[in-house]
Amino acid sequence: RVKTWVAAEVLTAADLNAEFDNPIDSALNLISPLTGDLNFNNNNATNMLLEVQASTQSSANAGRIYYQSTQDVIHIDTGSQIREVHDHWNAIAASRVF
């Protein structure tokens, strides 16, 4: 919401435009953070990047994948431990990421 309206207030063109421009200019705010699953309906999610962390994170979020920049390795959180993705897999995945 851009403006809080009060009774008997006059709606101006500028106020109306601001209210409509707000979701257009800030579309990500409409879905971020997600409150449920995002169904791509068999469509591709493109131009995505892995989260970058400088240190190994504690495990607690099963399914989380991130790039550990100081080790130059992808990490996967199993919920009980952090697993490193092996170098040969990194080479294959890197050729497909770009």
Weakest mean pLDDT among 21-35, 36-50, 76-90: 21-35
CA dihedral (16, 18, 23, 26) in degrees, to 10, reads 180
Q: Looking at per-residue confidence, does 84 or 26 come out higher?
A: 84
Pick the closest to residue 78 from 88, 65, 96, 87 (CA basis).
65
Polymer length in residues for the chain: 98
Residue 98 pLDDT: 42
Residue 25 pLDDT: 66
| Ramachandran assignment for 38, one of left (phi > 0), alpha (psi -120 to 50 degrees), beta (any other) | beta
Weakest mean pLDDT among 16-20, 29-33, 61-65, 91-95: 91-95
pLDDT value at 64 more than 50: yes
Q: Residue 6 corresponds to which tokens in the numbers above?
A: 């009060």
